[in-house]
Amino acid sequence: MKDVKVRHVAIIMDGNGRWAERRGLPKVEGHRQGARQVTEVLKAAQEYGVEFLTLYAFSTENWKRPVAEVTALMGLLEEFIDDKLPELMKNGIRLRTIGRTEDLFPGARKKLLHAIEMTEKNNGGTLNLALNYGGRAEIVDAVNKMAAEMTEKGGRFPKVTEESFRNYLYAPDIPDPDLLIRTSGELRLSNFLLWELSYSEMYVTDTLWPDFGKKEFEEALEAYGQRDRRFGGRK
């Protein structure tokens, strides 16, 4: 296991609501337990040398949920930042985000920006939170950003390559995920990292996110280590 080299792991953290329902608890308690699991998984990622951990925390579609649940999720984000910031500083973890974070609740956004600033110079790994994120939205925003830049320069739209287009994505300096983990057994991408996951290995587990810990993370890495990545070619 120690020989498995994974630079970037992305996770669709699914199953919080079902976890709570099975225990007769409000959905917010499932989300709260899910937030606690981030600590264990982040520690495991560091232990195995994972440089980037991207977590799908709040999608552009999540605004369609009941107002009370959305409000609770924004409150949990604030709690998460307050609780985890000292730990991130202690372990040298840098916090980053992708998504349309300008539309988050003001209190959550303020705390988020503060944590990002505080951890900016940390170099022990990166926790990348996808917040108000959608894969289609990211591609649309990239196209609009490119068009706006060309308009400002008064030039013609240049020939676009994969490499040049990537520069307009939310985090062009972060490498594509080597491994995508999805919890709760669902077999779909849910509009997550549609550009970046082109050649990522996928690992799906029936385990609900609030029950996903170091052991389950190790199992995902072990499965990844048995894959033969060819990126469309042949050996």
Length, in residues, of the chain? 235
Catalytic residue among 3, 16, 62, 211: 62
Give the separation between CA 147 and CA 144, rounded to whole angstroms.
5
Neighbour count for residue 64 (Cβ, 10 Å) = 8
Contacts of 199 (CB under 8 A, 6+ apart): 176, 229, 231, 232
H-run or E-run covering 38: helix 27-47
Give the separation between CA 222 and CA 167, rounded to whole angstroms.
32
How many CA atoms are closer than 13 Å to the CA of 64, on its beta-carbon side? 3
Catalytic residue among 14, 16, 132, 178: 14
Is 14 a known active-site residue?
A: yes
Amino acid letter at 69? E
**DSSP bridge pairs for 10:** 54, 180
Residues serving a catalytic function are 14, 62
